[in-house]
Amino acid sequence: MSATPSTPPSPTPTPTLPPISVTPQAAFVPVGSAQTLTVNGSLGALTAVAAAPNVVSVAIDQDARTITLGGTAPGATTIAVTDSRGVSTTVGVRVAYNAGTLPASLMLRVTGDPASRDYIRELVQRTIVNATKALPGAQVVVSPDDVNLDGDLGQDMVANVDVPVLIQGEQYFSVNGTVHVTIQNVAVPRISPDILMVSDFPEKLTENGILFSADLRQDAPSRFLYFHYNPPGQPDRRIVLVAENHSTEPATVQFISGRGGPSKYEMEAGHTATKNFLVDVVQNQGHLLQIPGNSTIVIGEQDMPAGTIVTDLLQLRVLQGVAAVHLTLVAQNASEDPADALLSGKLLTSVVKHARGIYTIPEFHFATQWNVNDGYLELPIGQIPLPNTLAGEALSGDYGVLESFVVNVQNPLSTPQRIAIYENPRGGRATGTFLIDGVLVQSHQVPPFSRYKIRQYVVPAKGFVRVTIVTMPEAGSSYPLRLIFAPDDGSVAPGAPGSRVYNFGYFFPRNRTPALPRTAQSARRIATWLKGVGSGACVASQVPSVFSRRSPHAAVEVGAAARLRAAERRPQPTPPRRRPPPRTRAAWWSTTPTEARFRGSASN
């Protein structure tokens, strides 16, 4: 009988050891900071080994079952975590710098009657960006839409807002936070500047250095215009405006700014700056800066990539503190720290001459009357060259000069009469910005010696219409330009298809007009007269005799303008009316080299 073979016993399965888990499953550690990981499901002693110990340090707390990681240098690595059983897991680690640091809170002191909601929101956005310490290559993301204001801020009023801000960069950890901003509107009286400072030399930049330097005196409020071009092939640059207070006392400076650019179109940059400045200056809408004693601060900076133009119109005055603050405008590389701007060295020059200097007529005011049945009334803008008080070029085109007109249009006839105001460039292509009767009127570029309607009226029989105009010659355009009061010729209405004029909107309430310098007696009489004007038209017998009164400081300007206007008044041919073809953005703003009178960079 044969033996039956026995069946071998089945192997006993080895039990699966409980895994180790780590929370969080991946670590993101800023350089110089630490993050703690919690280990679960482990037995016995723990070990943790970094694949790149130069990137992250490791410390283990056996009792708490935690691992603390310290960021040492930017990079990515892994941590192998093992217990006494030999069970292990791997944790991914990234070490990087935070993209920047947010300010905890900010205090802004503004001026304006009132300070508009849009102005404050944009100012808060810019201030947060400037106050945030972002690392190179990082971007500060904050939108004016996130500044939660219910409306305009009146004088002596205070508002508080909490603004969400993000700092981000590809090689950094993003930083999210909220900045608390307090905004106070300080009541400051309007005044006109005494001098105009201009920096347009050298216009085309081929090196870094000082572009302009002068004192801002407490007894001489100043307007400051700069206009510079960074040609293609040059490094990206930045324009920096530095204020130095050499006194032991702090200084308070009112700062009104209307910047344009960076843009590759010189007319677009100049037009944007003029529009922004006019809107702010007539409301006295600005920012109060505190400059500590014996200190230097950056009060303005503007990026200027290669191939672009930048410009700014500023109005500055020392309100209290020192007798003078020294201003320096500097060009530096965009990669440099704005705080080091004064290290840029020498005063720059060029063989191509443009304006750089100080001019004593920053504003021009003119009042007159015109009957609808008289010859055309022509108001020259940018026609009087201004002498330079420094060694430098005269200012042709009156760029940076605010020009205001009050025209009393009378109709002695027994029927209503239609009239219009036309723009008529006399130097080359030109854009325009006008505040007419409190309405913001803008014009795309207009060909030289053409005539386009910018405003139209119906003057009642035996009545009058009072017209107020505030404007400035625009950097990048070719001035002079004439505003012509004439009977309505039936051409296309402003803002209609085929018109170069756009963007209508009441900037002032209908019962307000821009404050223009006049004698106190004239101002009182005009205010009394306006109460009875209503819509702006009334019978001629109600006109006060204020139009023959002018402020003493404007007498020379008015006389010169009147003489020029009388000498040049002659009939001008009216070109055929035609609708221009549709234009692209480049077509609206670009010019030919010979037309870029103020910029002139094409010939540099």
- Burial of residue 456 (CB within 10 Å: 0-12, 13-18, 19+) is middle
- Per-residue model confidence as pLDDT tens digits over 33-43: 999 999 998 88
Residue 16 lies in a domain: no
Integer angstrom CA distances of residue 351 from 208, 256, 354, 596: 16, 32, 9, 18
The whole-angstrom separation of Cα 466 and Cα 485 is 12
- 8 Å CB contact between 476 and 271: yes
**Quick count: other Cβ atoms within 10 Å of Cβ 182?**
13
Average pLDDT of the chain is 84
Two structure tokens written together for 577: 């009316």
pLDDT band for position 567 (50/70/90)?
very low
Higher local confidence (pLDDT), 567 or 435: 435
Which structural domain, as residue segments, surrounds residue 127? 100-185
pLDDT per residue as tens digits for the range 500-522: 998 766 554 433 444 443 333 33
- Residue in this structure with the two tokens 């209908």, named with its chain if needed: 510
| CA distances from residue 431 to 209, 309, 446 in whole angstroms, order as listed | 31, 16, 6
Residue 15 lies in a domain: no
Are 344 and 375 members of one domain? no
Residue type, 212: F
- Split into its structural domains, the chain has a count of 4
- Return the pLDDT at 1: 54
Task: Identify whether residues 352 and 255 lie together within a single domain.
Answer: yes
Cβ-proximal residues to 217 (8 Å cutoff; 6+ apart), any chain: 318, 323, 324
Task: Break the chain down into helix, strand, coil percent, rounded to 5.
Answer: 15, 45, 45
Q: pLDDT at residue 532 above 70?
A: no
Which of 96, 127, 152 is the endpoint of a domain? 96
3 state SS of 209: strand
Span between the terminal Cα atoms of the chain, in Å: 120
Asked if 249 and 163 sit in the same domain, the reply is: no
Structure tokens at 73: 């240098």
What pLDDT band is residue 179 in, cutting at 50, 70 and 90?
A: very high
User: Residue 321: what pLDDT?
Assistant: 87
E strands, 382-511, in order: 402-410, 417-425, 430-436, 439-446, 452-459, 463-471, 481-487, 501-502
Distance CA 481, CA 415 (A): 32
414 and 553: one domain? yes
The C-alpha R_g of the chain, in whole angstroms, comes to 33
Is the pLDDT confidence value at 574 over 90? no
With bands split at pLDDT 50, 70 and 90, how would you rate the model's confidence at 391?
Answer: confident
* Domain final position from 359, 379, 412: 359
The pLDDT value recorded for residue 2 is 56
Looking at the fold, whether 215 and 170 belong to one and the same domain comes out as no
For residue 286, what is the domain's CATH number?
2.60.120
Tell me what pLDDT residue 392 has: 84
Same domain (yes/no): 215, 282: yes
pLDDT at residue number 507: 54
Distance CA 289, CA 275 (A): 23
CA 95, CA 29: separation in Å to the nearest integer? 5
% of the chain with per-residue pLDDT over 70: 80
- In this structure, the answer to whether residues 50 and 165 fall within a common structural domain is no
Task: Say which residue the tokens 């040609």 belong to.
Answer: 231
Distance between CA atoms of residues 82 and 84, nearest Å: 7
- Report yes or no on 66 lying in a domain: yes
Q: Give 247-262 pLDDT, tens digit per residue.
A: 999 999 999 999 999 9
In a domain, 508, yes or no: yes
**Is 225 within 8 Å of 382 (Cβ atoms)?**
no
Q: Is 421 found in the same domain as 391?
A: yes
Cβ atoms of 478 and 448 within 8 Å: the answer is yes
Residue 604: inside a domain: no
> Does 559 share its domain with 463?
yes
Domain check: are 323 and 378 in the same one? Answer: no
Question: Within its chain, how far is the Cα of 334 from the centroid?
Answer: 18
Statement: residue 483 has pLDDT above 80: yes
9 within some domain: no
Structure tokens at 463: 């009545």
For residue 283, pLDDT over 50 is answered with yes
pLDDT of residue 403: 95
pLDDT score for 4: 62
Same domain, 391 and 284: no
Which residues, in sequence order, are CB contacts of 163 under 8 Å at separation 6+? 124, 125, 128, 142, 146, 147, 178, 179, 180, 181
Phi, psi of 114 (to 5 degrees): -90, 180
Q: How confident is the model at residue 557 (pLDDT cuts 50, 70, 90)?
A: very low
* pLDDT > 50? residue 394: yes
Tens-digit pLDDT profile for residues 222-250? 999 999 999 999 999 999 999 999 999 99
Continuous segment of H or E residues that includes residue 125: helix 117-131
Q: In this structure, which amino acid lies at residue 357?
A: G
The predicted-structure confidence for 131-155, as pLDDT tens digits, reads as follows 999 999 899 999 999 999 989 999 9
> From residue 403, how far is each of 318, 367, 406, 561 by CA, in Å?
24, 11, 10, 11
Query: Is the CB of residue 469 less than 8 Å from the CB of residue 364?
Result: no
CA 283 from centroid of its chain's CA atoms: 16
Note whether residue 14 is domain-resident. no
The answer to whether position 13 is within a domain reads no
Domain boundary among 80, 96, 112: 96
Same domain, 349 and 256: yes
Query: Once rounded to an integer, what is the mean pLDDT over residues 12-29?
Result: 83
The CATH number of whichever domain residue 177 belongs to comes to: 2.60.40
Query: Which tens digits make up the pLDDT trace of 77-115?
Result: 999 999 998 899 999 999 999 999 999 899 999 999 999
Range in 10-24, 427-441, 571-585 the model is least confident about? 571-585
- DSSP code of 450? -
Predicted pLDDT at 322:
86
Kindly give the pairing relationship between strand 439-446 and strand 324-333.
Answer: unpaired
Cβ–Cβ < 8 Å for 445, 479: no
585 has a pLDDT exceeding 60: no
